[in-house]
């Protein structure tokens, strides 16, 4: 019988192996010399980053001063030259102090953070400018601006005499109706696209993708020709605006819900089906509760998407300076529509009122996005009622 000789592990001497030097300076035969990434920022790393930035700025400043390039026209070139010089100095410093792998990691981190800041800077600038222009209008006689109407709007009327109460009511009712129409249809469509692989499902997925990139004016014209035009003047209402907004909201909710439902573990579905549950019950009692947090995020993102649309409301709602609590009868106001109508009048006071309405709209949309982030951080599949969790985990004395 053939004898099999066991393979012995290479001996370790002073933390290094003697097996042909394959893994030098390591703690074992199966570990590599790879620096560990710190879980938090080390003060020494901040000194290295700041010192490199200051050294690069001093070098570029001297070069630009000697060459005679100064003024506002040279600021962009100064910034680009400083950033490239900073990357070079910081990369060489990290290479000499920590090695090649640490240099690559830190340069990639700096590049990613720099790109994120460049992309975020215009958005932050717009939000801050709206807050700077609109907050004084809203808080001049707070909360009068939030419940008064626009019946006294005029070129000479002060900003404290008008408000956005009708626009807030119209926005809440129209967006609420659009969500009521869209959310069930969008979740059902997303469930079908995840569970089906046929030709029809691919066609539906292509239509959803095409609707995602469609401009808002397409939905506005569609609802106008289908609903408003046949009914003439009586066709403009909050309900018609909700129909137009639901067309814009449907692809957003469907695509986001599809991505959330697709990541539900297939083992949960298979276990429920193995226990004899029908497919519809598996979807209602297993899949959707597991993806509840992600579905909430999808709904809030869809609502935030349509809260700032102007074209569908302009064609369908018509606008009104008075309160209209009935979305199914008569024209109704809306925040984006009110901004559009105010900025076209040209008066200085009316322009300030438009900034106040813009501030209210921005706060509303930002609040919805914050809710989406909070809902996205919640644990998927957790209990909806916290007292049940306490009851289940409590230990009797």
Helix (H, G, I), strand (E, B) or coil at 392: helix
Residue 188 CA from chain centroid, whole number = 23
Spatial distance between the Cα atoms of 186 and 182, rounded to a whole number of angstroms: 6
Mean pLDDT check: name the lowest of 20-34, 88-102, 277-291: 20-34
Spatial distance between the Cα atoms of 186 and 289, rounded to a whole number of angstroms: 16
User: Per-residue confidence at 376, pLDDT binned at 50, 70, 90?
Assistant: low
Mean pLDDT of 195-210: 87
* C-alpha dihedral, 193 to 197 to 200 to 206, nearest 10°: 60
From 186, 138, 141, select the one nearest 335 (Cα to Cα). Answer: 138
Spatial distance between the Cα atoms of 316 and 314, rounded to a whole number of angstroms: 6
From 334, 333, 337, 338, select the one nearest 320 (Cα to Cα). Answer: 333
pLDDT for 11: 46
- E strands present in the chain: 12-13, 16-17
Mean pLDDT check: name the lowest of 21-30, 67-76, 328-337: 21-30
User: Per-residue confidence at 321, pLDDT binned at 50, 70, 90?
Assistant: confident
Q: What angle do CA 204, 208, 212 make, to 5 degrees?
A: 170
Number of continuous H segments (helices) and E segments (strands) in the chain: 17, 2
Spatial distance between the Cα atoms of 171 and 312, rounded to a whole number of angstroms: 12
User: Per-residue confidence at 70, pLDDT binned at 50, 70, 90?
Assistant: low
Residue 25 has pLDDT above 50, yes or no: no
DSSP string, 150-162: STT--SSS-GGG-
pLDDT for 397: 40
**% of the chain exceeding 70 in pLDDT:** 83
Spatial distance between the Cα atoms of 62 and 68, rounded to a whole number of angstroms: 10
Spatial distance between the Cα atoms of 339 and 74, rounded to a whole number of angstroms: 38
Residue 129 has pLDDT above 90, yes or no: yes
Mean pLDDT of 339-361: 87
Mean pLDDT of 112-118: 91
Spatial distance between the Cα atoms of 378 and 207, rounded to a whole number of angstroms: 31
pLDDT for 318: 85
User: Per-residue confidence at 63, pLDDT binned at 50, 70, 90?
Assistant: confident
Count the Cβ atoms, other than its own, within 10 Å of residue 312. 32
Residues 6+ apart with CB under 8 A from 208: 189, 193, 250, 251, 254, 255
Helix (H, G, I), strand (E, B) or coil at 13: strand
Spatial distance between the Cα atoms of 26 and 33, rounded to a whole number of angstroms: 6
Residue 360 has pLDDT above 80, yes or no: yes
Q: What are phi and psi of 239, to 5 degrees?
A: -65, -40
Q: Are 27 and 19 in contact (CB under 8 A)?
A: no
Q: Is 0.85 surpassed by the pTM of this model?
A: no
Q: Residue 332's beta-bridge partner residues? A: 318
Q: What is the mean pLDDT of the chain?
A: 81
Q: What angle do CA 68, 74, 76 make, to 5 degrees?
A: 150
Q: Which helix (H) or strand (E) holds 184?
A: helix 165-195
Q: What is the CATH number of domain 159-380?
A: 1.10.3720.10
Spatial distance between the Cα atoms of 208 and 251, rounded to a whole number of angstroms: 5
Spatial distance between the Cα atoms of 114 and 33, rounded to a whole number of angstroms: 29
pLDDT for 372: 74
Tell me 39's DSSP state. Answer: S
Q: Are 244 and 316 in contact (CB under 8 A)?
A: yes
Spatial distance between the Cα atoms of 95 and 107, rounded to a whole number of angstroms: 10
Could you state, in order of their start, the residue ranges of all structural domains in the chain?
Answer: 43-124, 159-380
User: Per-residue confidence at 246, pLDDT binned at 50, 70, 90?
Assistant: very high
Residue 378 has pLDDT above 60, yes or no: no
């Amino acid at each position: 019988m053939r004898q099999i000789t066991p393979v012995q592990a290479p001996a370790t001497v002073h933390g290094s192996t003697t097996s042909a030097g394959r893994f030098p300076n390591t703690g074992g035969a199966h570990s590599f010399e790879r620096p560990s990434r710190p879980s938090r920022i080390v003060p020494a790393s901040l000194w290295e980053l700041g010192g490199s930035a200051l050294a690069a700025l001093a070098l570029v400043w001297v070069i630009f001063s000697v060459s005679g390039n100064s003024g506002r026209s040279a600021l962009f070139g100064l910034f680009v030259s400083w950033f490239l010089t900073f990357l070079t100095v910081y990369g060489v410093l990290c290479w000499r102090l920590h090695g090649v792998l640490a240099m690559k990691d830190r340069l990639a981190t700096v590049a990613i953070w720099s790109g994120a800041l460049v992309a975020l800077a215009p958005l932050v600038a717009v939000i801050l400018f709206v807050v700077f222009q609109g907050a004084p209008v809203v808080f001049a006689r707070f909360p009068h601006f939030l419940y008064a109407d626009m019946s006294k709007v005029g070129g000479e009327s002060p900003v404290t005499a008008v408000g956005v109460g009708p626009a807030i009511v119209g926005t809440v009712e129209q967006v609420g109706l659009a969500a009521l129409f869209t959310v069930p249809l969008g979740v059902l469509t997303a469930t079908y696209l995840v569970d089906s692989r046929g030709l029809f499902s691919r066609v539906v997925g292509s239509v959803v993708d095409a609707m995602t990139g469609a401009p808002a004016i397409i939905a506005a014209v569609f609802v106008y020709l289908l609903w408003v035009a046949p009914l003439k003047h009586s066709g403009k209402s909050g309900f018609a605006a909700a129909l137009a907004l639901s067309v814009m909201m449907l692809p957003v909710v469907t695509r986001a819900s599809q991505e959330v439902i697709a990541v539900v573990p297939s083992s949960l579905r298979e276990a429920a089906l193995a226990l004899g549950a029908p497919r519809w019950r598996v979807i209602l009692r297993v899949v959707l509760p597991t993806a509840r947090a992600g579905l909430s995020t999808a709904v809030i993102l869809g609502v935030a998407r349509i809260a700032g649309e102007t074209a569908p409301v302009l064609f369908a709602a018509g606008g009104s300076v008075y309160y209209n609590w009935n979305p199914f009868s008569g024209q109704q106001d809306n925040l984006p529509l009110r901004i559009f109508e105010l900025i076209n009048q040209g008066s200085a006071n009316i322009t300030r009122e438009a900034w106040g309405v813009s501030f209210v709209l921005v706060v509303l949309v930002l609040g919805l996005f914050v809710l989406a982030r909070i809902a996205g951080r919640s644990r998927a599949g957790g209990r909806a009622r916290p007292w049940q969790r306490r009851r289940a985990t409590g230990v009797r004395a």
